[in-house]
Structure 1
């Protein structure tokens, strides 16, 4: 009887870990899809659509250029001011170095960005935090330099 109980417990643990791995793979694929869409939107100079990847909240945090900004609207306005047209926004390419779970509903993503543009290319690094909100992955914090 004890061996049957032990076998059942082992099967449950193994099954549980397989489900978590599958969820993790799916989560990462969904997060990468958000980032891929952001690359397309940015490269089309559609900064408002680019911002769809961010949490539309006053609690969104963005840290860049030694300045901490909060709020979706403030972040969008900053992008519109600093990248007024295609010559400034250029073509965006992300290189993802690491995606790792923080909790089942949040991940951090570290990587590099590369802007190829008329006014001069720009490169840098970023660390963003994604959170699943109402079934969708949204960036809740972004630190880029």
Structure 2
């Protein structure tokens, strides 16, 4: 009987700890996305890229195919959005953050660029986040 109570107590404790970690992970990931949005909306592509893993192993999948690496991804953004007018104002919506483990999570959502002179753009995305050196960063981005 005592062993059963102990096992149940340990399971409840572990579940509580996992729920707290998941909530903290979701909050940290939301903060990365909010920081990216703010950087984009002030025309700061480099600041926006701080949410990505600064590595040659970063992968971005877009309508033009695969891009590997932080610098090539930054170069693509700069080429496609050469100034604040082309960048417009970014908004994310319908975010679904799903922790896949203590150090990995996926985010599915929608992006929308409001661009009065160039026309609005929108689409969906799947991001894979990983906690690296205590910081949540995007390691893979599939945006359409």
TM-score range for the pair, normalised by the shorter chain length: over 0.9
Mapped to 1, the partners of 2:4 and 2:44 lie a distance apart of 57
Whether the 8 Å CA contact 1:62–1:70 is kept in 2: the answer is: yes
Residue matched to 1:48: 46
Deviations 1:20-72 (A, max 9, x none): 00110110010000001100000111000100000000000000014100000
Mapped to 2, the partners of 1:127 and 1:6 lie a distance apart of 42
2:29 aligned residue (25, 28, 31): 31
The alignment covers a number of residue pairs equal to: 143
Deviation at 1:89, TM superposition (A): 0.4
Q: TM (normalized to structure 1)? A: 0.96
The runs of 5 or more residues in structure 1 that have no matched partner are: none
Which residues of 2 match residues 1-145 of structure 1 at below 5 A? 3-117=1-115, 118-145=117-144
The runs of 5 or more residues in structure 2 that have no matched partner are: none
RMSD across aligned C-alpha pairs, in angstroms?
0.8
Deviation at 1:5, TM superposition (A): 1.5
Q: TM (normalized to structure 2)? A: 0.97
Runs of 4+ in structure 1 over 4 Å off? none
